[in-house]
Structure 1
Amino acid sequence: MSFSIASALALLLTLGQIFLMDGQFQKLDPRYDRDKAITQLRNACHMIMEQDVIKVMNPQQIIADQKSGTVYQQEQVEKELKGLCLKEKIDYIKTHGKGSKPPECDMDALKEKLLAEKGQSSKGALDGGLEVFKDFTMTDAIALYDYLCAPNPTDSIPEKLDLDKVLAIFNSSVDEAVNADLSKLSEPSLPQSSLIYSLDGTEELGEIYSKENRRTWVPLNQIPDVVKQAFLSAEDKNFYSHKGVELKGVLNGFLRFIEKGVVIGGSTLTQQVVKNVILSSDISLERKIKEMMIASRVEKSYSKDEILEVYLNLINLGRNSWGLQKATENYFGDKYVSDLGLKEAVFFAGITHGPNLYEPDLYMTRIQKRVPYVLKEMRENGYITKEQEESVDPTTLKFTPRKVVHSSYFHQSIQTELEERLGKDAANKGGFYLFSTQIPSMQKALEKGLQQQLYDFEEGKGRLKWKEPLGNLINRDFNDLTLEEHAIFADERQWSKRLLNFRSLYQDVQWPIAVVLNKDSDGTLMGILKLDGTTDFKNLHHSRQGWADQAYRSLKIGDVVDVDFNDNTVSLRTFPTVQAAAVVMEAKTGRVLALTGGFSFHQSELNRALHSIRQPGSTVKPFTYLSALTRGIQPDQIIANAPVYFDPIHIPGERKIRRFRKCNAWSVRNYSSGGPASMSLRRGLETSNNRVTARILKLTEPGNHELGLEYVRNIFQDFGIYDQPEDCYPIILGSQETNVVRMARAYAAIANGGTLVEPHYLDTEKNSGLIQKAPESRPIFSADPVALFQLKNILGGVVERGTATVLKEYAGYVAGKTGTSTSYNDAWFVGFSNDIVVSVWVGYDNGNENGKKRILGGGGTGGGLAAPIAKGVFEESFKIYPKTSLLSNPPPGVRLYRENGIIESYRDGYAPGRAQEWDPRYDENLVSELEAPRLELTSPFESDPRDFNGDFNRNFDDGNDLGQPPRSLRRNEPRQSPRNTKKRKKSRAEIAIENGRGGLY
C-alpha cells in the first residue's frame, strides 16, 4: 500500500488553513496563487514542527525508524504465527494419533485468529512494512524538508513537488466541503427505526429500518453524564476545547499510517460524525482531507452538545445497533439509556472501535481487559475517583438481551403499505411508532396450526427430508474450543441465551428449539428452549427411520435444531417442502389481524398470500350460486345432478368455427360418481357438486347460458376476485388463478352484507397523526343483502353437513367453502364468522423436483388439509370476538323457516308451504317442534343428448363423496301439499313447470 506525496501535501495545506486561517477555506489557483500556496505549506509545516508529537525532525531518521520498526514487527508476527501453527499440528496429532500426519497450516486463517487475539479489526495491522515512500527516495524527502520545513528554506523547488496535483486535490476537497449538506446532521434528518406495535399497543412486534440505521433517537439531556464522560474519556477528551480537528491527533494518526499501513485513530468525535453521515468510509488521505474540512464547518454551525448528541445516537455498538438506546435494549434487555450506570457506560465506551471483537457471548475476557482502560482514562480526566474506578467489576455485567424480532411477512406488508402512503423516502427515514392491525395471539395460532398441518402432511406422505441444522453455537470443532467456549455448554444461562438469538431468526416458527450439549454412547443430550422461554434437558429420541435417522447420526455438539417436545419425549423436526399462505381479516373493516406467506419467512421471503396466484377451485362456487340467489332462485330449488353440456362461446360477429372460439365446448363431471339424481341448490353447494354448479348458468337465464356466465363474471369482478374474469365456462369451478388476500376480501363482503373492504396492515385510528386517510371500503352496488344472507346461511351448512365438517363444532357461528384444484395442485379453505374471515391456501411452489411436477396427491384436499389450519384461528378469535349466530340480524326482506332441522332463509314472498317460521330473537327451545318437509319442485328429468364424459377442467373437490343426502332431499320423496295458502309470487322454476318445460335444471 502506498500513498501519493501530493495527497500528503494537500493534507498539510488543509491543516494550515484550519489552524492558521480559522477554517476559512480558500481555493488556490495554480496559475496565480503558486507563491501563496508555497507560503501556506511552509507555515503549516513550521506549525507542525512546533508540536511535541514530532520527536525527530530529520527525515533520514524517520525513514530509518520506519524501516527498523517494520522489520521488528514482521519478525514478531512471524514468530507468533509459527507458534500458532505448531499448536495446531500438535492438537491434530493428539486427536488422530501419533502416526497421523497433520496438514499444512492455513496461514490466512491463523492471521485472522492472531488478529482477533490482538483485538484488531484490520488485516493491515499484521502486514508490517508499508512502502509509503514508493518511488520517493530519501534524497527526495530531504529536498522537500529543506524547501518547506527547514528554518531557513532553500529556493530550489524539489523535483517531486507537483504543485498542480497538490492544488487539484486540495481545491476538489474544498468544493466538496463547502457544498456538503450539513442539515443531514440534524435529528429529523437522520434515519431511525420505526417501531411496530400490536393492534392494542401492548406488545412490540418488531421494527422497520434501513441498512445501518437501526436506532432510536435519545435527546442529550436524557443521557446520563457518566455515559457522556465515559465516551469523551475513551474517544475525545479534548472535545469541548478543539475546533473539530485536533492537530496532535491528526499527526499521531498520520505517523501510525506511515508505520503500520492503516489509517487509524486521530479522529475527533466531530470527524467521526462527518465520516458516518456525510462521507463514505473509504480509507484514503483524500477522504481524510474532506472529513477535516467539513468537521471544521460543522463546529461553526452546531454547538458541542448538538454534535455530541448526534454522535451518541449515530455510533455503531454491535448487535445490529446504532446509537445508545438501541444498543442498551440489545445488550441489557428492556433498559433505557437513562438507566445506565458507570459499569454499562465504560463497557459501551470501550467497544466503539470494534464491537464485534467484544461480543459478550464470545469474548468476555477482552471486555474484562478493556473496561479498566476506560475507567483509568475517566479517573485521569477527573470524572471519577479512585474508589469508583476500583468498584467496577466487569465480570458482574449482566447481559440480558431481549428477544430480537426479525422481519416477517407481516412486517414486509407494513413496510409496503407505509411506502405507498408516505412515499419511499419518508418511510425509510423512519422514527415512527406504528400501530399495526395484528393481534399477536391470532398470528401465533395461525402459524402454529399451519406449520403443524404442513409437517404432519409431509410426514404422512413420507416426503420429509433432512437438510441441515439451523446453525451451531460456536461454528468450530468441539475439540478446538477454548475453556471459555467450553463453559457455554455447561452453563444453562449461556446456552439458553444463545438459543434466544437463534429463536429470533426463526421467530415465526412455533416449535421449541434445542442445542446438542453432548453426544456419546449414552445418547444425545439436548438443551431445550421451549416456546414459553423455559429450559429443559432431555436425551434426543433416536428414530431409526428415514430422514430422522440420517439427521440423528449427522448431529454434532453445538448444533441447533427444531424439536418436538411432547409427553416428555424430544424428537427432531425439519422444515417441510410444501408451502401454505393464509390471512385473517376483520370482515367489517379490512384490518389484517394475522398473515403468513409461507412456512417461515426465514425459509422463504416470498409472500404467497399476496404475490402467488393459484387456481382457487371450488372456493369460487359460492359466487356462482349468488348469481342464482340474486335473481330470485331460492335455496330449496331442486337441480338435476346429471351430465351437462355447454356449446362453445364464439367471438361476436365471427363465423362459428374453431379459430374464432373464445371458449371451447364444456362438459362437467363430479369428483366422484353416484349420488342422488337431483338435489336442492343448498345441497349442491354443501357437497360442492360440479354439475349442479354448472347448471346454475342455465337456471339464472333459461335458454341463454352465455348470459348466465356473464352474470357470474360480473359478480367475480364486483367482489374483487378477478380484475378481468375469463370469458370461459370453467371459471365457475375455479380455473382462473387468484390470490389468498383477494379471496378473503370477497368472502368478507359475504360476511358483512355487501361491502368490499380494503385490506390494510396499519391501524388508521391509532396512527391518525401519521396516516390521515382510512383505506376506502365501498359498497358493492350489485350486491343484494337478501341473497348474501341466504348464501351465508348455505355456507354455514358446508361446515355443518358439507365438505368442511372439520369445523363442525363451530356450526352456526362459522361458514365457509373448501376448494381443491385440478390434479390436487392446490387445497383451499375460505371461511368466516360474523367478525373475521380466514383464507388458506396449501400447495407446492410452481416448479419441478427430479423432473416431476410436485402435487399434493390423495388427501391433499381443501377439507382435509386447508380447513384444519383455520380451526385454531377461529378458536382463538372467539376469545376476542364473542360468538354470534350467523343468522342474527337478517336484513329486511328475509324470512327464516325451520325445515327438517335446518333453518332456511327465504326471500319475502317465496316462503314454503307448511314450514314453521323461526325468529332468531327467541330461544330455539321456545320454537314449536312442528316441522314440515321442504317444498320441492320436481319433474321427470330429460338428459341432454349432447352430454358426454369429457374432462374439461374437472375439479377434484372434496365434496360429493359424503353418501346419500337426507331423505327429504331425495328425488323420489313424495311432494307435500303446502299448508300456507297465501298467494305469493311464483318463481321462475314454477312458471317453467306450468309451461311444460320441467322443473329440473
Structure 2
Amino acid sequence: MKSFFYFLFLSLILSVSLVFSFIAYISVDLPDLEQIGNKRVSQSTKIYDRDEKVLLYEVHGEEKRTVISFEEIPKTVREATIAVEDKNFYQHPAFDWKAILRSVFIDVFYNKRVGGSTITQQLAKNSFLSSEQSIIRKAKELILALRLEKKYSKDEILALYLNQIPYGGNTYGIAAAAQTFFNKDVANLTLGETAILVSLPQSPTYYSPYGLHKDELFLRRDYVLDQMKKSGFVSKEDGEEAKKEDVVFAPQSAGIKAPHFVMMVLDYLTEKYGEDMIENGGLKVSTTLNFNLQQIAEKTVKEGAESNFNLYKGRNAALIAEEPETGQIVALVGSADYFDVENEGNFNVAAQGLRQPGSAFKPFAYLEAFIKGYTPETVVFDVPTEFTTGKPEECPALVDFNNDNKKCYHPENFDNDFKGPISLRNSLAQSVNVPSVKTLYLAGLDNTLELAKKFGLTTLEDKSRFGLSLVLGGGEVKLTELVNAYSAFAQDGTLHKQSFILRVEDGKGSALEEYRDETSQAAEPQYVKILNDVLLDTKARSGLFHASLSLTVIPDYQVALKTGTTNNYIDAWTMGYTPNLAVGVWAGNNRREPMERNGSSILAALPIWNSFFKEAIKNYPPETFTKPESSVAEKPILKGDYLFANQIHNILYFVDKDNPRGLVPQNPENDPQFYNWETAVLVWAKNNLPNFESYNKSKEYNYSTTNEKIFSVKIETPSGGSFIKGTQKITAKIASTLPVKKIEAYINQKVVETKNGDFGKDFNFSMSVGENNFDLQNLVKVKAYTDLGEAEDSVIVYK
C-alpha cells in the first residue's frame, strides 16, 4: 500500500513537471507582454471629400482596417458580440471551462465541432497564431489569453477584438466592415445592420452578403437578435422590429468615388509618403473635392460625351472646376467613364493629357499686348495675310490659299470669312485667327511664353518649337494648368497655387500637412481687368456664337468665357469663369482621332460647360468683376480710328510694336512683317473703300506734325510679377513729343532716384537699386516730366 502511494506521488510529481516543461517549451517563441501591446496593426488610408462626409476611397495593403477606440464602438455592437461570442466575457478569467467541456463533449460524442473559445482566446488566435487544429496551438492560445487578461482590462480586450477580427475578404475590424457592407460610419449602424455584421465573423465567406448564402446570413442575424434578447440587451419588440428592417447593402464594386481625382491624389501621396505608409499607415486625407459638384460633373461629362459621339464622333470629355480665390479643385472628371478600359477611360486627360488648347491660348497673347500698351479698341486688319517673310518667291505677300508649301504660313479663320478692320476686343471675343496671329507678333512670342509661364503653364518651355501659330494652339498644355491660369484671370492676375489636399493626418490623428494658400502676381491687375472686360463682353462675343450665345450666358452672373478648337478638330475647349468659380472643359478622343468638322468647341465643349456651370454656380453668390481704370490712348489707331487724316495702313505704320504709345516709326518698312501686312491691307482697302485713290495722297502721316501729344513711359526691367534677388537694375523707355526735363524712380511710393536735365524726346532711363530697398511685395514706378505734363509706368515685383 505504501509503495502504491509512493508511486502515485512520483507520478503526480512527474506529471506536474511534464506540464510545466510543456508550458515552458511552448512559451519560448510566444510574444512577451510588451510585444503584444506594441504589435503593429495595419490601418487603411482613407480619402475623403472636403466635408469629410463622403469616403472617396480606402487604400489598404493586405488588410482593410480602421482602428477605433472602445468609446467609439457603439454599445449595441459590443453587446451583440458578447451575446453570441462570449456571454460570460466579463466574468471568466480568460477561458470558460464550461464552454470548453461542452465543446469537447459534442466533438467526442456527436463528431461535430462547436466553438468553445472566449473572446480573449479568439483575439490571441487571430492576432498571433495560425488556425491549425492541434493541442500545441490550443495551449499557446490559452497561455496568450491569460497574458492578455493580465495586461489589459476587459474593455480594452473587447476593443482590440472588434478592431482585428475578419469580416470577409480583406475587411478587418467593425469600422471597416460598416463602410464595406453599408457605406456608413459604425456610429450610424441600425440594430439590424449591427446584428448582420456581428453574424459575419463566425464564417465570413459563407455568410458574405455578396455570396450564395444570403438567406442563411439573415437567419444568423435573427439568431444574434434572439441572443441579445436573452441576455437582456434588447427588448423583444426592438428585436422583432430589427428583423423586419429593409437592409440595403452597399454595391460590391471597386469602392471608389471620383476615380480620376482619387488616383491623382494617390499619385501625390505615394510620391510624398511612400507606398508602405499609404497602404498601412492609416492616413486620413481630406481633399478639396465638393462631392455634390463632382456628381454633377460626372453626369454632365458622361451625357455630353455620349451626345458628342452620336453627333461628331467624339467619345470623350474632361472637366475641372476650381475656386479662383483659393486654387482648390472642387470637381475633376478625367474621362467620360473611368472603367471603360477599351477606350482608355482610366487615362486622366484633365491632369495627364497634353493637348493643344487652340484659341483658348489667345488670351495670353492679348494680355501681353495690353501690358505693352495696346488697347481693346486698337484696330488690326482681318485680311488674308502671309506671315512668312523673306521668301517672296515661295510665299508671296498676296496670299494663295492653294499654296500648300509648308514653309509658308497664311492661316484662315474658322468660318473662312475675313472681316477687314477689327478691334482687339472683337477679334479676341470672336476668336478671329488672323488678327490673333498679328496680336501675338505685336506682343512678342517670347514675352507671351514668359507670361504664360507666370500664369502656371509649365509645358511650353522649349521656345524653339513655337512660332506665330502658338496663338492658335500650337503648343500642348494640361487642362489642370489651363484652368488654374484662367482662375488667375478671375483674380485679376493673382495666381493661387492649385491644390487638391486640405489636410493629411497620420494614424494617430497628427497633422502631416495642411492646405496653405500660396500666391504670386502673374501680371498687373489693371491689364488683367482689361482682359476680363473683353472676355465677359456678351455683345462682343455674339458675332461668334450666334444661336449658341445663350449657352455662354448665366442669368444674374457676369461670366467671362473663351473657347478653342485645334486643327483637324481633334481638341475642343471651353474655359469660363466668374470671380469665384472657374471651369474648363475639353472634348475629343483619347487616341486623338479627329471629330467631324462641325464638332467645334461651340458644339462639342460648350454645351458640357454650360450644363455643369449653370448648376454649379448656384452654390456661389453673384459677384461682379472689377472694371479696369479708364485709360485713353493718344494715337488714333489705338482708339479705333484706322482712317485718321485720310490714311489707310496696317498698324505697323503707326506704332513701334514694342512701344505702341511711343513715337511713330520713322522707317516702318524696317519691320520684317510690314510689307506683307501693308500689301494685304491695301488690297482690302482698294476693294472696299469708296474713292480709295484719295487715300494716302498727302505726305506720310507723322504725329509730330499734328496737335497729337505723345508722352509715354514703359518699364522694361524688372517685368511685372518677377522676383528680386540681389541688386536690381531698373530700366524704362521714355517717348515724348516734347523734351523730357525730369525723371523720378519710386520703390513703394518712396523716391529712390531723381534726374534733372534735358533728356530729349526719346530716352532710355537706367539705374540700380540694392536689395535692401525692397520688401516682400513692391510697387516699382518710373515717372517722367515735360514742361506741360507728366507720365508714369509701374509694375509689381516680389522679393
Regarding TM over 0.5, the answer is: yes
Residue in 2 aligned with 1:694? 437
Shift of 1:395: 4.8
Q: 1:985 aligns with which of 687, 693, 711?
A: 711
CA–CA distance in structure 2, aligned partners of residues 645 and 41 of structure 1 = 104
Residue in 1 aligned with 2:586? 841
CA–CA distance in structure 2, aligned partners of residues 412 and 734 of structure 1 = 28
CA–CA distance in structure 1, aligned partners of residues 624 and 359 of structure 2 = 25
The question of whether the paired residues in 2 share the 8 Å contact of 1:180 and 1:278 is answered with no
Residue in 1 aligned with 2:165? 315
Which residues in structure 2 correspond to 1:413-428 (within 5 Å)? 413-416=264-267, 428=279
* Counterparts in 2 of 1:775 and 1:332: CA distance versus 1, 3 Å: closer
Q: Is 1:460 matched with 2:169?
A: no
Shift of 1:631: 0.9
Structure 1 gaps, min length 5: 1-38, 49-166, 464-576, 649-663, 701-707, 847-852, 896-907, 916-931, 949-966, 994-1001
1:416-474, Cα deviation, whole Å (9 max, x unpaired): 5566777766655676776543334432332232222211111235x6xxxxxxxxxxx
Q: Is 1:796 matched with 2:503?
A: no
Which residues in structure 2 correspond to 1:211-250 (within 5 Å)? 211=61, 217-221=67-71, 223=73, 227-236=77-86, 239=89
Residue in 1 aligned with 2:363? 622
Which residues in structure 2 correspond to 1:711-860 (within 5 Å)? 711-723=447-459, 724-728=461-465, 729=467, 730-763=469-502, 770=511, 773-780=514-521, 783-797=523-537, 799-802=541-544, 805=549, 807-810=551-554, 813-846=558-591, 854-860=593-599
Q: 1:43 aligns with which of 3, 6, 18?
A: 18
Which residues in structure 2 correspond to 1:645-664 (within 5 Å)? 645-646=387-388
Shift of 1:745: 0.9
The one-letter code sitting in structure 1 at the alignment partner of 2:157 is I
Which residues in structure 2 correspond to 1:48-59 (within 5 Å)? none
Shift of 1:865: 0.8
> Does the residue aligned with 2:621 lie in a helix, a strand or coil?
coil
> Does the residue aligned with 1:609 lie in a helix, a strand or coil?
coil
Q: Is 1:867 matched with 2:611?
A: no
> Does the residue aligned with 2:206 lie in a helix, a strand or coil?
helix
Shift of 1:193: 6.2
The question of whether the paired residues in 2 share the 8 Å contact of 1:227 and 1:340 is answered with no
> Does the residue aligned with 2:618 lie in a helix, a strand or coil?
coil
Shift of 1:590: 0.4
Residue in 2 aligned with 1:366? 216
Shift of 1:874: 2.5
Residue in 1 aligned with 2:386? 644
* Counterparts in 2 of 1:209 and 1:289: CA distance versus 1, 3 Å: farther
> Does the residue aligned with 1:727 lie in a helix, a strand or coil?
helix
CA–CA distance in structure 1, aligned partners of residues 571 and 134 of structure 2 = 58
The question of whether the paired residues in 1 share the 8 Å contact of 2:710 and 2:736 is answered with no
1:279-328, Cα deviation, whole Å (9 max, x unpaired): 78899999888777765654443333212112123333359864334545
Which residues in structure 2 correspond to 1:871-950 (within 5 Å)? 871-886=610-625, 888-890=626-628, 894-895=629-630, 908-910=631-633, 939-940=648-649
Shift of 1:647: 6.2
The one-letter code sitting in structure 1 at the alignment partner of 2:570 is N
Which residues in structure 2 correspond to 1:134-283 (within 5 Å)? 174-175=28-29, 177-178=31-32, 181-183=35-37, 191=43, 194=46, 196-199=48-51, 204=54, 206-211=56-61, 217-221=67-71, 223=73, 227-236=77-86, 239=89, 268-270=118-120, 272-274=122-124, 276=126
User: Structure 1 residues 618-627 or 234-243, which shifts more?
Assistant: 234-243
The question of whether the paired residues in 1 share the 8 Å contact of 2:574 and 2:606 is answered with yes
Shift of 1:271: 5.0
* Counterparts in 2 of 1:599 and 1:228: CA distance versus 1, 3 Å: same
CA–CA distance in structure 2, aligned partners of residues 229 and 773 of structure 1 = 39
The question of whether the paired residues in 2 share the 8 Å contact of 1:636 and 1:935 is answered with no
- TM-score, normalised by the number of residues in structure 1: 0.53
* Counterparts in 2 of 1:874 and 1:981: CA distance versus 1, 3 Å: farther
Structure 2 gaps, min length 5: 1-13, 391-405, 651-668, 678-687, 697-702, 715-734, 738-799
Shift of 1:589: 1.0
CA–CA distance in structure 1, aligned partners of residues 676 and 106 of structure 2 = 92
The question of whether the paired residues in 2 share the 8 Å contact of 1:208 and 1:411 is answered with no
The question of whether the paired residues in 2 share the 8 Å contact of 1:638 and 1:936 is answered with no
The one-letter code sitting in structure 2 at the alignment partner of 1:749 is A
The question of whether the paired residues in 2 share the 8 Å contact of 1:909 and 1:985 is answered with no
Residue in 1 aligned with 2:399? none
* Counterparts in 2 of 1:282 and 1:772: CA distance versus 1, 3 Å: same
The question of whether the paired residues in 1 share the 8 Å contact of 2:501 and 2:514 is answered with no
Q: 1:681 aligns with which of 401, 424, 432?
A: 424
Shift of 1:750: 1.4
The question of whether the paired residues in 2 share the 8 Å contact of 1:319 and 1:330 is answered with no
> Does the residue aligned with 2:597 lie in a helix, a strand or coil?
coil
Residue in 1 aligned with 2:257? 407
Residue in 1 aligned with 2:201? 352
Shift of 1:740: 0.8
> Does the residue aligned with 1:317 lie in a helix, a strand or coil?
strand
1:781-830, Cα deviation, whole Å (9 max, x unpaired): 5x122221222222224744435835343498112221222322211122
Which residues in structure 2 correspond to 1:384-783 (within 5 Å)? 384=232, 392=240, 395-401=243-249, 406-408=256-258, 409-416=260-267, 428=279, 435-461=286-312, 578-603=315-340, 604-640=345-381, 641-646=383-388, 667-672=409-414, 673-700=416-443, 708-723=444-459, 724-728=461-465, 729=467, 730-763=469-502, 770=511, 773-780=514-521, 783=523
Q: Aligned Cα RMSD in Å? A: 5.3
The one-letter code sitting in structure 2 at the alignment partner of 1:827 is A
CA–CA distance in structure 1, aligned partners of residues 693 and 60 of structure 2 = 70
> Does the residue aligned with 1:589 lie in a helix, a strand or coil?
coil
Shift of 1:752: 0.8
CA–CA distance in structure 2, aligned partners of residues 337 and 313 of structure 1 = 14
The one-letter code sitting in structure 2 at the alignment partner of 1:710 is D
Shift of 1:182: 3.0
The question of whether the paired residues in 1 share the 8 Å contact of 2:301 and 2:333 is answered with no
- TM-score, normalised by the number of residues in structure 2: 0.64
CA–CA distance in structure 1, aligned partners of residues 38 and 412 of structure 2 = 67
The one-letter code sitting in structure 1 at the alignment partner of 2:604 is L
Shift of 1:246: 7.7
CA–CA distance in structure 2, aligned partners of residues 785 and 387 of structure 1 = 69
CA–CA distance in structure 2, aligned partners of residues 972 and 751 of structure 1 = 47
CA–CA distance in structure 1, aligned partners of residues 136 and 707 of structure 2 = 100
The one-letter code sitting in structure 1 at the alignment partner of 2:48 is I
CA–CA distance in structure 1, aligned partners of residues 301 and 349 of structure 2 = 14
The question of whether the paired residues in 2 share the 8 Å contact of 1:818 and 1:863 is answered with yes
> Does the residue aligned with 2:322 lie in a helix, a strand or coil?
strand
> Does the residue aligned with 1:611 lie in a helix, a strand or coil?
coil
CA–CA distance in structure 2, aligned partners of residues 315 and 792 of structure 1 = 59
* Counterparts in 2 of 1:386 and 1:940: CA distance versus 1, 3 Å: closer
The one-letter code sitting in structure 2 at the alignment partner of 1:823 is N
Shift of 1:621: 1.6
1:716-759, Cα deviation, whole Å (9 max, x unpaired): 22111125243231433322222110000111111211222122
The one-letter code sitting in structure 1 at the alignment partner of 2:246 is K
1:108-156, Cα deviation, whole Å (9 max, x unpaired): xxxxxxxxxxxxxxxxxxxxxxxxxxxxxxxxxxxxxxxxxxxxxxxxx
> Does the residue aligned with 2:594 lie in a helix, a strand or coil?
coil
The question of whether the paired residues in 2 share the 8 Å contact of 1:806 and 1:868 is answered with no
Aligned-pair identity (%): 25
CA–CA distance in structure 2, aligned partners of residues 431 and 940 of structure 1 = 70
